[in-house]
Amino acid sequence: MMRFQSIRTKLVVSIFALTLVLVLLQQATNIILIQTAFSQLVPQTMTASLQNAHTQIQTRLNANFSALEAIADMPMIRDTSIPLAQRAESLAGFVTRNAENGYQACAITDTTGRAFLSSGFEIDVSSDPYFQQALQGNRVVSD
């Protein structure tokens, strides 16, 4: 233990030690308060961010489904008296004219599973699960 000869030195050292202890305690308290605030803030922020992302995705999906339903209701698509290949050409023209609105590719399929893509290709989707579900009257979203 240190021995001081002057009471003044003892007083200065004691005040300095007390001040140091108080500053350290205050810093420890600040750290605890900050940790508590962050532990509450981060989950709230994440929840708000996820809800915002969910809302944006839902809005985009609804807009896309509305657009698909509008396309499916077009007379050039619904009229089964028009050959499938000709309806596919009309659909391809529509996609090309509306590319700036985000339309990239579409396909039209008959009940046998023969699909004409807006790119001009013809494929068979009759064994694909989404096509089978659609034939049963279900609404289907697939990649």
What value does the mean pLDDT of the chain take? 84
Residue 22 has pLDDT above 90, yes or no: yes
Confidence band (pLDDT; 50, 70, 90) for 101? confident
Among residues 136, 100, 95, the alpha carbon closest in space to that of 117 is found at: 95
Structure tokens at 3: 């021995």
Among residues 121, 108, 107, 117, the alpha carbon closest in space to that of 82 is found at: 108
Residue 135 has pLDDT above 80, yes or no: yes
Q: What pairs with residue 107 in β-bridges? A: 117
Classified as helix, coil or strand, 45 is: helix
Q: Write down the pTM of the prediction.
A: 0.48
